[in-house]
Amino acid sequence: MQIKKLINLGAEGHSFAAVSRIKLTNIIALITTVISGLYSLNYWLLLDNSGVASINLGFTVAYFATLAFMHRGHVSGAKTWFFSVLMVHLLVCTNVYVTNQSGFHLYYFLVPTGAFLLFELHQRREMLALSAASVGLFLYCENTLNLNPLIELDAATNHLLYQSVVLVNMIEVVFVLTIFARQIEANEKQLTLQASTDSLTGLANRHCFFAEGNEMLEHANKLHQTMSLVLLDFDYFKSINDRYGHVVGDLCLVEISKEINAICREQDLFARIGGEEFVIAMPKTNLEQAQQVAERMRERVSKHIIPIVGEANFTCTASFGVASSSDVKSLKTLLQQADKALYMAKEQGRNCVQLYSA
Ligand SMILES: Nc1nc2c(ncn2[C@@H]2O[C@H](COP(=O)(O)OP(=O)(O)OP(=O)(O)O)[C@@H](O)[C@H]2O)c(=O)[nH]1
């Protein structure tokens, strides 16, 4: 429970993406604190080197201080602090504890990927400054000899350490790339959904209708099947808006689209293609069958009561135009035919279904 609290430090009031970065920073800071603390114990108890143990304990406390910055709401400061402590720690490890033969300074390569992972995308200044500092410190360590290390290591141990550092670097790069790939995939899904969905009703939008509807028509033509379109438009919708306001008008669109959706089959494509204009593409459906479905929809719309607070509930009606795809090669043409039928329905006095005839 306490750990959960620590992981959530500083997360309050931030966007979803920022929160996941803050939590990840806290997790990494906690893990680093624990690892650094264990190293201190190791120096103290097993290697009997209280000097190194004390210095390392100082770094352990400094890592933990990242969470204190988070707690005070200094999110960017906490991240910068963490990476700065890490870089100084690496410098001390490589140039004070041991020598660059250990390869400890290769850990500097963790900084750029880590910074790009943990900072917000717009915080380029911080990311670039930390990356530049890590490259500079790496080069400094690489070209500096430590003649009096606090811990003397033989060549075999240095070699082992070197390989473990390379391994950890590789694991970190794979980990960071996996997270980025997942984020890109989730963003792509979200964008595709937004680009194809009508935000008010949650139905397919005009763009999605033409993309998917064209595929449906092509498929139907290939298999010599008939596809029908039912186009519907609310009657006197302007007067609903004028009388009850746009909020109620919107509610009306949502309520009625749910009623119509309840009649649609799974294979039908139901879309909102204009303000108060909707269309249903029905595969494997001929003109008479589509007419029957449209009639059921018309009846259901006219009977559905729109609940409004503080005023008398009301009902609304819609007019329907139906067209079928025999001999029609393009969805645009089919929609024009359904539109002509809809126009006739409006002419006939509205709240009725009309079929397209050439
Ligand atoms: N509340 C709301 N109104 C919308 C939306 N989109 C379009 N409208 C309104 O729908 C009304 C359509 O009006 P008209 O095209 O004159 O049609 P109508 O009043 O339904 O009359 P007929 O179609 O001839 O029966 C306009 O007042 C638009 O402002 C929307 O998303 N929400």
**pLDDT tens, position by position, 285-327:** 999 999 999 999 999 999 999 988 777 788 999 999 999 987 7
Helices (H), 42-123: 50-71, 75-92, 110-118
Q: Is 276 a catalytic residue?
A: yes
In a domain, residue 200? The reply is no
CA of 316 to the centre of ligand 1 (A): 13
Kindly state whether residues 317 and 239 are assigned to the same domain. Answer: yes
Domain limits for position 295: 206-355
Distance CA 82, CA 74 (A): 12
Q: What is the ipTM of this complex?
A: 0.96
Residues sharing a CB contact under 8 Å with residue 71, sequence separation 6 or more, in sequence order: 9, 10
Residue nearest to atom 5 of ligand 1 (CA): 275
Residue with tokens 């059921």: 296
- Spatial neighbors of 102 by CB under 8 A, at least 6 apart, are 93, 94, 153, 158, 161, 162, 165
Q: Which atom of ligand 1 is nearest to the CA of 252?
A: 1
Residue among 237, 252, 317 to mutate when testing ligand 1 (max atoms within 8 A of CB): 237
Identify the CATH number of the domain in which residue 299 sits.
3.30.70.270
Instruction: Evaluate whether residue 155 is within a structural domain.
Output: yes
Using the mean position of ligand 1's atoms as its centre, give its distance from the Cα of residue 246 in Å: 10
pLDDT, one tens digit per residue, over 182-199 is 989 998 999 999 999 999
Contact indicator for 115, 172 with CB cutoff of 8 Å: no
In this structure, the answer to whether residues 158 and 215 fall within a common structural domain is no
The backbone region for 281, taken as left when phi is positive above 0, alpha when psi lies in -120 to 50, beta otherwise, is: beta
**Do 283 and 220 contact (CB within 8 A), yes or no?**
yes
Q: Which of 279, 283, 251 is nearest to 338 (CA)?
A: 279
- 87 close to 133: Cβ distance less than 8 angstroms: yes
* Residue 218, domain member (yes or no): yes
Q: Is the pTM of this model over 0.90?
A: no
Same-domain pairing of 187 and 249: no
Question: Which residue's CA is the nearest one to ligand 1's atom 14?
Answer: 238
Q: Which backbone phi and psi does 224 adopt, to 5 degrees?
A: 55, 40
Same-domain status, 220 and 179: no
Considering the domain architecture, whether residues 105 and 250 belong to the same structural domain is answered as no
In a domain, 245, yes or no: yes
Residue 78: both structure tokens together: 């906490």
Ligand 1 site residues (CB inside 6 A) read 200, 233-238, 241, 246, 249-250, 253, 275-276, 346, 350
Give the domain-ending residue among 130, 160, 195: 195
- What value does the mean pLDDT take over residues 272-278? 96
The Cα 95–Cα 354 span in angstroms is: 86
Indicate if the pLDDT at residue 28 is higher than 80: yes
Domain boundary among 140, 170, 195: 195
Residues 212, 189, single domain; the answer is no
Q: Which of 308, 242, 252, 309 is nearest to 275 (CA)?
A: 252
Alpha carbon nearest to ligand 1 atom 21, residue = 236
From the list 255, 259, 266, 276, the catalytic residue is 276
**235 membership: H or E segment, kind and range:** none
- Same domain flag for 17 and 115: yes
pLDDT digits (tens, 9 = 90+) for 159-175: 999 999 999 999 999 99
The C-alpha angle with vertex 235 and arms to 232 and 236, in degrees rounded to 5, equals 145
What phi and psi, each to the nearest 5 degrees, are found at residue 311?
-135, 165
Give residue 357's pLDDT band: very low, low, confident or very high (50, 70, 90): confident
| 237 CA closest ligand 1 atom index | 20
What span, in angstroms and rounded, lies between the C-alpha atoms of 105 and 100? 7
| Extended strands (E) in the chain | 228-234, 269-272, 277-282, 318-324, 353-355
The SS3 call for residue 219 is helix
Q: CB of 286 within 8 A of CB of 318?
A: no
H helix runs in 223-245, sequence order: 237-244
Strand partners, 306: 314
Residue of minimum CA distance from atom 13 in ligand 1: 238
Ligand 1 centroid from CA 242, angstroms: 10
Percent of the chain, pLDDT > 90? 86
Banded model confidence at residue 247, pLDDT cuts 50, 70, 90: very high
Q: Report the distance separating Cα 345 and Cα 333, nearest Å.
A: 19
C-alpha dihedral, 178 to 179 to 185 to 188, nearest 10°: -140
CB 341 within 8 A of CB 259: no
Note whether 284 and 186 are same-domain residues.
no
**Do residues 265 and 344 share a domain?**
yes
Taking every pair of Cα atoms in the chain, the longest distance, rounded to a whole number of angstroms, is 99
In a domain, 288, yes or no: yes
Domain count across the chain: 2
35: tokens are 């690892």
Output the CA 34–ligand 1 centroid distance in Å: 63
Mark which of 195, 225, 250 sits at the end of a domain.
Answer: 195
What average pLDDT does this structure show over 117-132? 93
- For residues 141 and 230, state if they share a domain: no
Q: Are residues 91 and 232 in the same domain?
A: no
Write down the pLDDT at residue 1.
57
Closest approach atom of ligand 1 to CA 246: 1
Residue at 201 is within a domain:
no
* Same-domain check for residues 163 and 306: no
Residue nearest atom 11 of ligand 1, based on CA coordinates? 238
Strand order of the β-sheet with 228-234 is 269-272, 277-282, 228-234, 318-324, 353-355
C-beta neighbour count of 175 within 10 angstroms? 13
Distance 268 CA to ligand 1 centre (A): 25
